Amino acid sequence: MGPVSTPVVTPRPPPAPTGPELPMASQPAVPFLEIETLRAREFLPAAKEALSAMVQEQAQGKLIRPVFNWAGRNSLFPLHWGLACCAIEFAAAFGARWDAERFGVLPRSSPRQSDLLIVNGTVTWKVAHKLITLYEQMPEPKWVIAMGNCATGGGPFRTAYSVVPGVNKLVPVDVYIAGCPPRPEALLDGILTLETLIRERGE
C-alpha cells in the first residue's frame, strides 16, 4: 500500500479586525450644513481624480481617437481646387463614370470644410503662397496628395523659371500619384492608399 496522504489542516485566518467605529455612529449628530460641507470635501477630490484620468486618456487618444480615425478616413473631403490639366481628371473622378463619392470622397468649396488638399497641376512661384494659405486654412488633421508629375517634381517644367520643382517644397505631402495626367482610377487608388496610410498611422 502506498503512503496514506493525511489531510493538512490549516488554521482559519482570524477574522479581520473591525475598523474603528464611524464617528457618526458614536458622536452626536452634527449640524446639517456641516454634513454637506464634509461630503463636498470628499466628493470633489475624487471627482477631480476621475475626470483628470479621463482627460489624460483622451489626450493620449485612447478613448475616441479610433472612432474619429475610422470616420475621418472614410469621409475624406478634398478641397475643390484645380490648377491645370490634372484638374480635368480630378473632375472626371467625381463624375458619374468613376464616382469617387462611393468612397466617401466629396469635394468641398472651402478649405475650412476640407481635410484633404489634392494638388492637381503645375505649381508656379506666383501661386505658391496662395497654396500655403489654403493649406494653413484647413483644420487638423489634414493630408496632401500630389497628383501628377508636375506637383510631384515639377514635371516637364522642372527647370523653368517660374515653376516650383515639386509641391513638397511648400507643404508636407502624404501620397504621390505619377502620371501626366494620371487617370481617374489612379487618383482613386491614391485616395485609397491614403486611407490605408491613415489607418496605419492611427492618427
Partner 1 sequence: MKPEELKDNLAELLGPRLLAVEPFAGMAGRVRFERTAALELFRHVREVLGYRHLSMVGGIDWVDHREVFYVAWSDERKEYVLLSTDVPADDPHLESAAPVWTAAVWHEREAFELVGILFDHHPDLRRLLTPEGYAFHPLLRSFKLHEPEDLEVKTRNV
C-alpha cell at 100: 469617387
48: contact with partner 1 by CB under 8 A: no
| Angstrom distance (rounded) from CA 197 to CA 159 | 32
Give the count of residues interacting with partner 1 (CB under 8 A).
12
Q: Given the complex with partner 1, which of 112 and 158 has the nearer CB atom?
A: 158
Sign for the CA dihedral angle at 24, 30, 36, 39 comes to: negative
Which of 158, 172, 178, 196 binds partner 1 (CB under 8 A)? It is 158
Q: How far is the CB of 161 from partner 1 (least distance, A)?
A: 4
5: contact with partner 1 by CB under 8 A: no
Q: How far is the CB of 179 from partner 1 (least distance, A)?
A: 21
39: contact with partner 1 by CB under 8 A: no
> Which residues 92-131 are close enough to bind partner 1 by CB under 8 A?
125-126, 128-129
Q: Given the complex with partner 1, which of 111 and 155 has the nearer CB atom?
A: 155
Which of 3, 161, 200, 202 binds partner 1 (CB under 8 A)? It is 161
Instruction: Give, in degrees to the nearest 5, the angle at Cα 114 between 111 and 118.
Output: 85
* CA neighbor of 90 nearest in space, from 100, 77, 103: 100
- DSSP for 112-170, written as a single string: GG-SEEEEESPPBHHHHHHHHHHHHHSPSS-EEEEEHHHHHH-GGGTTSTTB-S-GGGT
Q: How far is the CB of 175 from partner 1 (least distance, A)?
A: 22
132: contact with partner 1 by CB under 8 A: no
